[in-house]
Structure 1
Amino acid sequence: MLVSRSISMWSLPAIGCWYPCAFARFRVFCASSQLPLPPKDETLRTIHNSGVIACLRASSAELAMSAACAALNGGISVLEIVMSTPGVLEVLQQLLQDYPTKTLGVGTVLNIKDAKNAVKAGAKFLMSPTMVKGIIMGDIEGEFLYIPGVMTPTEVLTAYESGSEIVKVYPVSALGGIKYISALKKPFPHISMVASQGITIESTGDYIRQGASSVVLSDAIFNKEFMDKKNFDGIFQLSKLAASQAMEALEW
């Protein structure tokens, strides 16, 4: 319980922001601890320790499955499958069987019904482009992490005060990109933020160094041309590069 309480009380990126060495030691302590964490806290820790959430949307369940496997085999540890993907819940369940150590969730969740179905299928986290009231108010049974979408400082604080341990800043590139994350972290160093929308693999490290706990990479990993041509080796290579870039930034 001590480790779990530490994660909820302290923002890992905030510690790193003020004292990088302390951040590094805290991360090592969390990773090496023998005390088991509740599933929700374990998911949060994995997101912090990975630096990248790969966001997958596909035109078919078969394409989603193959692309997801390529990304996970390439080193991605946190994968979000967009709710609009055909057969999303069946794909999720199969991936949970094939990759039990990975952290898999469902994104673009816009209503309670979809949220309940995703959690029932085994999603470890749910992500939305906004704050879905019923989810954030705890109207769904099950152990999962909810990452609501926020845009303004008011929304950041509202989500945090409603119980969110981490928020998704969206659409970040339209709001100013890296500079916007840096500006938001100044009044809210204690709130974990995921940067989402329009982020490239090359800019991943800069987002993390400016305070983002993690970044969402969609087309940067699941390149549209690669998806169309079913170039899964290309997706594998992009995943490997993205994971490497994130690790370098987190070690910094």
Structure 2
Amino acid sequence: MEEMFFKELLKDKILAAVTLESSQDALFVAEALLKGGLNVMEVPLRTKDAFKAITLIKKEFPEMKIGAGTILRKEQIAALVDIGVDFGLSAGFNENLVEEIAKSKLPYIPGVFSPSEIERAYEFGFKVQKVFPIGQLGGTKYLKAISGPYGHLGLKFIPMGGVNQENFTDYIKIGNVIAAGGSWMVNKELIRNKEFKAIEDGVRALINISHAR
């Protein structure tokens, strides 16, 4: 079952979203994450080098589990399966996309915003859902509120779009949160300045926080 797959995949409760402007940085970032103890990352499909970056990482570091984020078009799915991504994510819930995902058998995390979208995603069989943008929705208060009507369904959420170093612990303490995600630990400035050791150290510190909670 997909929820068991994601439970094991996200055992450290961290999903690093890494936007790679250049595929040249891909291997350095992936290596830094692995050295820091994290073997899962999201690479959003927002840049021209995203597919190339994923291909390079999968070839050089097969132990790194990669989620392709911001999937918007059905034609992207076959290409992602071909290059060996481990799972996919979207910021929203697109039924046409979901139907194509189901055919591919690619593990997938749809994005949800409202109770209606949560329920619709559940109808399609998705018990792990990305909540975006959590900062604008009310943060931890929103996740605690939806645990009331949906707690009995066993749904798990990945809040993104408002999680940071300061509130990370608050999110992962909530029972319906399987992981908290974001780009703050691997932001564009760190990548641009080649501060890969800082990325490694930051991820290691986050994992220690997660395991100590």
Report if TM-score (shorter chain) is over 0.5. Answer: yes
Amino acid at match of 1:155: E
Of 183-192 and 92-101, deviating more is 92-101
Which of 195, 200, 208 is the matching residue for 1:236?
200
Structure 1 distance, partners of 2:101, 2:21, is: 31
* 1:168 Cα deviation from its structure 2 partner: 0.3
Q: Against the structure 1 CA distance between its residues 100 and 41, is the aligned structure 2 distance closer, same or farther, given a 3 Å change threshold?
A: farther
Residue 44 in structure 1 maps to residue 6 in structure 2: yes
2:186 aligned with 1:222: yes
Secondary structure, counterpart of 1:49 in structure 2: coil
Give 1:109 shift.
0.7
The Cα of 1:166 is off from its aligned counterpart by 0.8
Query: Matches of residues 127-138 of structure 1 in structure 2 within 5 Å?
Result: 127-138=89-100
Q: When the two structures are aligned, how many residues end up with a matched partner? A: 210
Tell me the amino acid that sits aligned with residue 202 of structure 2.
L
CA distance in 2, matches of 1:150, 1:187: 15
Give the match for residue 52 of structure 2. 90
**Aligned match of 2:161:** 197
**Per-residue CA distance 1:74-113 (angstroms, 9 max, x = gap):** 1122201011233222322222233333321100111111
Q: What percent identity do the matched residue pairs reach?
A: 26
Instruction: After TM superposition, give the deviation of residue 73 of structure 1 in Å.
Output: 2.0
1:136-215 correspondence runs (5 A): 136-138=98-100, 141-189=103-151, 190-211=154-175, 212-215=177-180
Please report how far the alpha carbon of residue 139 of structure 1 lies from its aligned counterpart in structure 2 after TM superposition. Answer: 5.0
Take 1:43 and 1:78, find their aligned partners in 2: how far apart are those partners? 12
Q: Check conservation: 2:13, 2:180, Cα contact below 8 A.
A: yes
Structure 1: distance between partners of 2:101 and 2:128? 18
Residue identity matched to 2:136: A
Provide Cα deviations, 1:23-54, integer angstroms capped at 9, x if missing partner: xxxxxxxxxxxxxxxxx566313234121111
| Maintained 8 Å contact 1:127/1:148 | yes
Q: SS in structure 2 opposite 1:188? A: helix
